[in-house]
């Protein structure tokens, strides 16, 4: 989940896995996989960075959990 701001500065959270694409028109518009469009204050690059950070946290957790399992198989 990533935290974003609507045009009126009200914060909300969106599931980054449901973002289909992000465009600048000039406002930043996020289209979700279900067709819902969200207009946000963040730039396209800021949204991309937030998604990357979110994905890093997810995959770091997966890698962290896999490493102990790998050690068990090596023994």
In Å, how far from its chain's centre is CA 2? Answer: 5
Contacts of 19 (CB under 8 A, 6+ apart): 30, 31, 32, 33, 47, 51
The pLDDT tens digits along the chain (75 residues) read 999 999 999 999 999 999 999 999 999 999 999 999 999 999 999 999 999 999 988 887 666 665 555 555 555
For the chain, the structural domain boundaries read 2-60
One of 1.25.40, 2.40.50, 3.40.50, 1.10.150 is the CATH number of 2-60, namely 2.40.50
pTM of the full predicted structure? 0.79
Alpha helical stretches, state H, 1-75:
44-74
- Report the largest interatomic distance among the alpha carbons of the chain, rounded to a whole angstrom: 57
């Amino acid at each position: 989940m990533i935290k974003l701001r609507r045009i009126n500065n009200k914060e909300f959270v969106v599931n980054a896995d449901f973002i289909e694409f992000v465009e600048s028109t000039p406002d930043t518009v996020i289209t979700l996989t279900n067709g819902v469009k969200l207009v946000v204050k963040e730039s396209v690059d800021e949204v991309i960075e937030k998604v990357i950070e979110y994905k890093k946290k997810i995959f770091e957790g997966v890698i962290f959990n896999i490493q102990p399992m790998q050690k068990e198989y090596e023994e």
